Amino acid sequence: AQKITQTQPGMFVQEKEAVTLDCTYDTSDQSYGLFWYKQPSSGEMIFLIYQGSYDEQNATEGRYSLNFQKARKSANLVISASQLGDSAMYFCAMREGWGGGGNKLTFGTGTQLKVEL
């Protein structure tokens, strides 16, 4: 079974609108972390936001927020007030277990977001 599932290969949003990118995950670990990364055409991986499995509050970072629904095993990314520069590939990733940077990440297949005027 896929550990990270992103069901939207492509999404379009109008500038200044909000958009939600879906991510569901599968793990039997109690401790895990969920990440969202942005990858523009240059290829660099830009860290956006993190949610720990024990965090009770949804994570927020500026225009990014993570809608964490633990029982449903979903970790959707919400981008508010979309900008043209948000056009990129977005990846959801999971780190199972605890160990900070020493544990590998498993990535979803990504969602290509296009922001239109």
Give the residues lining the site for another protein (CB under 8 A). 33, 37, 42-45, 47, 50, 52, 91, 95, 98, 100-110, 112
Provide, rounded to whole angstroms, the least separation between the CB of residue 31 and another protein: 11
Q: Which is nearer to another protein, 102 or 117 (CB)?
A: 102
Provide, rounded to whole angstroms, the least separation between the CB of residue 39 and another protein: 9
Distances (CA, A) of 88 to 4, 18, 28: 19, 15, 31
Distance between CA atoms of residues 36 and 38, nearest Å: 7
CB 37 within 8 A of CB 48: yes
Q: Which is nearer to another protein, 31 or 67 (CB)?
A: 31
